[in-house]
Amino acid sequence: MSDSANSNFGFSTSQHNIRTANPLPRAVLRTNNYLLLDGEWKFALDTDDTGLRDLWYLAHPYTSTANWPGSVEEHLQRNQPDTPGWRDKVVVWYEREFPLPERDDDDLNSLFQLTFGACGYETRVWLNGFLLSTIEGEEVHYGEYTSFSFELREEHLRPVNRLTVRIVDTMDAETPRGKQESHVYKRGGIWYQTYTGAVRSVWLEMVERNRLRSRVGVDSVIEDQLVRFNLTTRIHDPGVYTLRLQVFDRVAPTPQPLATSDFTLRLETGQRQQRVVMELAGARLWEPGSPTLYRLVAQLIDSEGYAAQIETHFGLRKIESRGTYVYLNNKPIYLDGILYQPGTATYEEMQRHMHAMQALGCNLVRVHIAGVDPRIYNLADELGLLLWVEVPSPHSSTPRSRENHRAELLRMLALIESHPSVVIWSLYNEDWGAQDIATNPETRRYIIDMYHYLHINHPQFLVVDNDGWQHISQEGRLKSDLLTAHVYTPDVQRWAELLDRMIQGDLDNVAVLPLVIGDPFFYGRQKPLVISEWGGFGFADYGGPQNAEERAERIRQFKQELRKRPMAGDVYTQATNIEDERNGLLDPHTGELSVPAGLLASQPPSTAAGTQSGEPAA
C-alpha cells in the first residue's frame, strides 16, 4: 500500500520545526518529523480466535479493509452489515505496509519509534512477523484510553515493512469500561454501545536513543513562585547528562527565556523519572478569564553536546478544598459545571463542544468516565476551562478490577498531569465498580490508599473518592476533597428542600443512597458541597420540560436556588444528547446551542438573594 496519502512530513532532519498546531493526539511536542500511518488498512474478524494459532502475523489472506482510526464496531458494520455487533468477545486483526523513510547521516543517534494514540483493550503488535514489546516491556498492552510506544530494532526493519495488529475486547466487567455496556450493565438508558479498537492515530517517528519521553508533570507553588517539573528519561547509553529547562513567555515571545536551569544527572540504561524545581519570578497565574500559559523547552544533553528536545506549555495555579468553598489561586471560586460525555465525537466536534460549553457560561467541564483526545486538554488550557477528569470505571468490584482500575489511573496521570486545566479527579462514580463500598473493607481500603497516593504524588489536584454518594469516612475524616451529591428532581420546590437538607447536615435523605458511609461523619461545613449531577431535563428517566424554552427557564430557577445557599458548585447534566439520553443543551455535531448563551453562568453574588459574606464570585 502506498503511504503517499498518509504521510505528512519527510524524515529529513533539515525539516525539523516546532509546530504551533499539534496534529498528533498528544500534549507534548517533539521537534522531529513523523509518518502518520492512518488511512486504509487490511482488516479481518477472527471469529473463532484462531489467528494466533494459525500465525496470521506471518501471513494471512485479508479480504476486507478498514479505516484507521475507527472503532471495531464501525469496521464490523461496514464489512458485515447484516450481522449483529459483538456480544461477548471480539478479536480483530489489522495490517498495512509502509516504506522505511530515508534517514540523514546525523540520524545515527536516533531510532524509529512507533506510537499508538490509543488502542485496545488488549493489543499485540508485530513488525515483519516479529512480536514487539512496548518501552515498558509489555508484549501485550492492556488499556484503551492512553498512548503506548514501541522502539523498533534495526534488525527487524526492511525497506518495505509490514505492520500487523491484533486487538481483543470483551464484555468483562472487571476491565475499565466507563459507560460502555458489559455483562453487568446492558446497553440502554444510561449505558452505551461499546466503542473499542483502533480509536486514535498511529504514527512512526525518529527519536533519540537518549531522550526525554513525551510526558511532563507540573506542580506549582504559587506563593514561592516555584514550579516542580516531573520528567521521564529514556537512556540506551549510560553516562552523565545535563537536563536543561528553559521557560518562555507565550504572550510576548522573545528569543531569550524568562528562566533557565541546568541539572546534572548520572543516568543508567532504562527509564526513570526525575523531579526538578525552577523559580519563575513575577509569573502570572493561570485561571478562567486569564489563562496565562508559559512554554517549556526541555533538553537532555549528552557529554558530546547533543541535545534531545521536547516542549510543552504549562500554567501556574493552585486548587484547594477549604471549608465551604473551593479556592483557586487562594480566591474562592464557584464551579459552574456541565457533564460532558463525548461518546463517538470526532476531535473536531469535541473542539466545537468545548467552545459551546464555555459559551453556556461554564467554567468547569466534567469529562464523564471517558478517555478523550489529549489535545482537548490543551484546548481547555488555552480557553481557561477547568476540567474534572474521571477514571473509566470497571463494572464489578474484585481484586482484579481494582488492579485494572489502578493501572488505568496511572496511565492517565502520566499523560495528563501537566495541564493546569485539570483540577479534579474522580476515582469512582456512583460506586460503579465499587458496588460493595459500604460493606467491603478491602474496597474502601483501596480507594483510601489511592486518595492518599494522589495527595502525596499529585498535590495539584483535588480528589473525589466516589462521586455522587457513599463517600468514605475514616475516623470522621472524609476521604474526598469534595462532598458531592447527584440529585435529580424536576420540581423546583423539592430541589430547594433537598438543598436545605444538605447544608443543614442531613446526608441520608438527599440522594439515592446516603452521602457518606464508613465511620460517622459530621458535616459542619468542613467540606465544599457540590451538586455534581442535576437536571437532566429532557431525559425521560429524570423528568422535566422537553421544550427548549421551558427547559431554559427551569435551569434558571434551579441555578438561582443554588446561589442562595453556601454551595461550592454544580454540574448540569448534560452537554450533548447521546444515545438514549436526550438531555443535551448543544448540538453534538455543530456545537450550536439550543438554549441561551450564558445560561449556566451563576449570577453575581451581589444580585443573588441570600448571598452570604465570603461567597465566591461567579
Give the single-character DSSP code of 188. B
Which residues are bridge partners to 464 per DSSP?
426
Segment 270-278 shows an average pLDDT of 97
Cα–Cα distances in angstroms (integers) from residue 455 to residues 88, 96, 415, 451, 583, in the given order = 38, 44, 18, 6, 35
Residue type for position 466? N
Q: Is the pLDDT of residue 122 over 90?
A: yes
pLDDT value at position 15?
31
pLDDT value at position 32?
81
Q: How far is CA 444 from the centre of its chain?
A: 24
Cα–Cα distances in angstroms (integers) from residue 448 to residues 369, 398, 439, 481, in the given order = 19, 16, 15, 12
pLDDT value at position 129?
98
Q: Are strands 529-535 and 569-573 parallel, antiparallel or unpaired?
A: parallel
pLDDT value at position 338?
98
pLDDT value at position 31?
79
Q: How far is CA 24 from the centre of its chain?
A: 15
Closest CA to 129 of 43, 186, 57, 200: 57
* Better-predicted residue by pLDDT, 607 or 322: 322
Which residues are bridge partners to 89 per DSSP?
170
pLDDT value at position 251?
81
Question: For the CA atoms of 169, 171, 174, 180, what is the dihedral angle to 10 degrees?
Answer: 90
First to last CA, the chain: 56
Long-range contacts of 581-584 (CB under 8 A, 24+ apart): 581/189, 581/190, 581/341, 581/536, 581/539, 582/538, 582/539, 582/540, 583/535, 583/536, 583/537, 583/538, 583/539, 583/542, 584/538
Cβ distance 294 to 229 under 8 Å? Answer: no
Residue type for position 616? P
pLDDT value at position 617?
55
**C-alpha to C-alpha distance for 508 and 105, rounded to whole angstroms:** 70
Q: Are strands 462-467 and 307-314 parallel, antiparallel or unpaired?
A: unpaired
Name the grid cell of 428: 469512582
What's the pLDDT band for 106 if we cut at 50, 70, 90?
low
Cβ distance 287 to 7 under 8 Å? Answer: no
Q: DSSP string of 473-536?
A: EETTEESSSSEEEE---S-HHHHHHHHHHHHTT--SSSSSS-SEEES----TT-S-EEEEEEE-
Extended strands (E) in 57-100: 64-68, 70-71, 89-99
Name the grid cell of 214: 513525551
* Residue where the block lists cell 470522621: 476
Cβ distance 299 to 243 under 8 Å? Answer: yes
Segment 291-318 shows an average pLDDT of 96
Angle between helices 375-383 and 347-359 (to 10 degrees): 20
Domains of the chain: 28-208 (2.60.120.260), 211-315 (2.60.40.10), 327-586 (3.20.20.80)
Q: Is the pLDDT of residue 21 over 60?
A: no
Task: Name, in order, each residue with C-beta under 8 angstroms of 592's C-beta and a sequence gap of 6 or more.
Answer: 356, 586
pLDDT value at position 4?
34
| Range in 64-73, 203-212, 250-259, 555-564 with the lowest mean pLDDT | 250-259
Cβ distance 516 to 558 under 8 Å? Answer: no
Name the grid cell of 167: 486487538
Q: pLDDT digits over 229-259, tens only?
A: 999 999 999 999 999 999 999 887 778 999 9
Burial bucket for residue 82 (CB in 10 Å: 0-12, 13-18, 19+): exposed
pLDDT value at position 102?
87
pLDDT value at position 60?
97
Q: pLDDT digits over 126-184, tens only?
A: 999 999 999 999 999 999 999 999 999 999 999 999 999 999 999 999 999 999 999 99
Give the single-character DSSP code of 419. -
Cβ distance 92 to 78 under 8 Å? Answer: no
Give percent above pLDDT 90 in the chain.
86
Task: Name, in order, each residue with C-beta under 8 angstroms of 307's C-beta and a sequence gap of 6 or more.
Answer: 244, 299, 300, 301
Cβ distance 394 to 356 under 8 Å? Answer: no
What's the pLDDT band for 435 if we cut at 50, 70, 90?
very high
Cis peptide leading into 490, omega within 30 of 0? Answer: no
* Better-predicted residue by pLDDT, 578 or 80: 578
Q: pLDDT digits over 355-403, tens only?
A: 999 999 999 999 999 989 999 999 999 999 999 999 999 999 999 999 9
pLDDT value at position 188?
94
pTM here is 0.93
Mean of all residue pLDDT scores within the chain: 92
Segment 296-313 shows an average pLDDT of 96
**C-alpha to C-alpha distance for 608 and 566, rounded to whole angstroms:** 12
Segment 476-496 shows an average pLDDT of 97
Q: Are strands 483-486 and 529-535 parallel, antiparallel or unpaired?
A: parallel
Cβ distance 422 to 416 under 8 Å? Answer: yes
**C-alpha to C-alpha distance for 309 and 311, rounded to whole angstroms:** 7
Question: For the CA atoms of 606, 609, 613, 616, what is the dihedral angle to 10 degrees?
Answer: -70
